[in-house]
Amino acid sequence: MDKDISYNLQEFAVQNNIKDLYGAIVATTPVNQEIFESITQKLKYVNFYTIFVLIDGEAVITINDKEIVLSQQSVIRMTHMQNTEFIKCTNELDGYFLFCETNFYNNILENDPNMQDVFQRNILDSSLYFDVTEAKISELLGIIMQVEKTINQPHLYKKEMLSFLVHLAQMHINELIDSASNELHDMKHKENIFKIFIHLASNNFKKERQINFYADRMNITPTYLSRIVREVSGNTVCGYLQSFLYSEACKMLKMTDKTIGEISTELKFNDQSAFTKFFKQKSGISPKAYRE
């Protein structure tokens, strides 16, 4: 196949034996392992948009030399003339393709003010991949199946109906984009809370080892702070405070001449015995043995 040639949707459908086709505008097809491999190997030569819903199995493709691992219950939308390569897929692969001609796809977006941000963010210029819930997969599959049904039945306003259904699919994709953007914003917010906690903890751990102190300073609840620290780092507030405390104890034992009693007092332990117990739990040996 000549890489200088691009194929419209009708030509592509003929080459790949895709039966559910409306002119050179919209097409759908279910796929298994063999069909998925055949289609993805040829997508680099097309001038239309592709939405693929992976119901079961896994697959690996590259788009513009970037490897993308498609997992069960995921959605990917690919734009036209991207360098797509098939790598591998599992035997049980099951999914559905929805193809839509470029101008038809873009005209729908241009006529809906709610979708204008798709153009403003240049989202159409790149591929988009999402792992989604079973409910979202069912919704998208329902739309694609309705597209398939509309293509194969006589309708006076078939093109208008297909335009509406493609629009629905677009809105679902846009909703996934917004959700991903919100999740990213939420994660950045959580990471900022975590960074503030670490800063406060590194400056106050010697005298303040209660979560309430840090939550109050950050104007959030102890429960929320505890959850954020665990989500972002996998560790706990107590775990970080004890880690700071143990590191400081090791440094003081090795780098100062202070007695163990003086160290325990400076680190705000109730007594030397409490400090020794804490240190042995962390290191497996006593402060005296560590110093020696």
Pair 93, 74: CB distance under 8 Å: no
For residue 60, report the phi and psi dihedrals to the nearest 5 degrees: -130, 125
- Sequence letter at residue 240: Y
pLDDT at 228: 87
Two structure tokens written together for 233? 């780092």
Q: How far apart are the first and last CA of the chain?
A: 75
pLDDT at 120: 46
Distance CA 239, CA 243 (A): 6
Q: In what order do the strands lie in the sheet with 66-70?
A: 66-70, 59-63, 84-89
Q: What is the pLDDT of residues 36-77, one digit of tens each?
A: 999 998 888 787 889 999 999 999 999 888 888 999 888 888
Kindly give the pairing relationship between strand 26-31 and strand 128-131.
unpaired
- Sequence letter at residue 254: K
CA triple 45-50-52, angle to 5 deg? 125
pLDDT at 122: 47
> Rounded to two decimals, what is the model's pTM?
0.60
Q: In what order do the strands lie in the sheet with 20-22?
A: 20-22, 26-31, 94-101, 48-56, 74-78, 128-131
pLDDT at 61: 92
pLDDT at 129: 81
Q: Which residues of the chain have pLDDT under 70?
A: 1-5, 112-126, 177-187
Two structure tokens written together for 221? 């609840």
Give the residue from 78, 69, 84, 98 showing the smallest Cα distance to 9: 98
CA 286 to centroid of chain Cα atoms:
46
Label each residue of the chain as H, E or C. Answer: CCCCCCECHHHHHHHCCCCEEECCCEEEEEECHHHHHHHHCCHHHECEEEEEEEEECCEEEEECCEEEEECCCEEEEECCCCCEEEEEECCCCEEEEEEEEHHHHHHHHHCCHHHHHHHHCCHHHCCEEEECCHHHHHHHHHHHHHHHHHHHCCCCCHHHHHHHHHHHHHHHHHHHHHHHHHHHHHHHHHHHHHHHHHHHHHHHCCCCCCHHHHHHHHCCCHHHHHHHHHHHHCCCHHHHHHHHHHHHHHHHHHHCCCCHHHHHHHCCCCCHHHHHHHHHHHHCCCHHHHHC
